[in-house]
Amino acid sequence: MTAFDEPVIDVAALMATLREEVRRKQGVCRSRGEDGGAESWNPIHASLDMAEQRAMIGSGVPNMNRFHWLLRLPARLVARVLLYLLQIVTLHQREYNQSMVKAVRGLVRRLRAAQEGHASLAEQIEQLRQRCGDRDAQMELLQSRLAALTLRLEMFTARGGDAAADASLRDAA
């Protein structure tokens, strides 16, 4: 009986390869110039890329590489004839698919712009809140000064407007 060598599978290397493939696919989505920062956009762009690839239904004959070359030639001929006959359906379907992908991409762009605008407005609101807090602190300071001046005026008028009393009040304040 012969001993067969069982293949050794390195799980760590396999996982590293999978992670690299995922990063590469996500990089394809980012390379489209749509780097809004949110990772949640990557699946949307990946789905749109896939839909865009599939939107051209009936535009060309498949390669049929899985067939032997002797079978591939007649199979491609039959496929070409079928595509020609089915153009009445595939032409409209292709136009519809392309327009839908274009519309969804436009919606994604506008949604992304709205999201960025929302973030900008939220930042402006936070700045306004901070300024209002500063103004509230200034108002409290001015109100305390006004109360001190009002008290000083009442004391001055209660003493009959005496200049010496006014000088002592000034020193106290």
How long is the chain?
173
Decide: 55 and 98 in contact? Cβ < 8 Å: yes
**Domain residue spans in the chain?**
64-173
Decide: 67 and 76 in contact? Cβ < 8 Å: no
For residue 55, how many other CB atoms are within 10 A of its CB?
A: 19
Tens of pLDDT, residues 39-68: 678 888 888 888 888 787 777 787 788 888
Q: Is the pLDDT of residue 126 over 80?
A: yes
Cα distances from 55 to residues 35, 41, 85, 129, in angstroms, run 25, 21, 19, 49
Cα distances from 110 to residues 64, 96, 104, in angstroms, run 40, 21, 10
pLDDT score of 6 = 63
Tens of pLDDT, residues 144-167: 999 999 999 998 888 876 655 556
- Segments in the chain forming alpha helices (H): 11-30, 41-54, 69-85, 87-158, 163-172
Q: Is the pLDDT of residue 32 over 60?
A: no
DSSP class of residue 100? H
* Average pLDDT, integer, range 107-111: 92
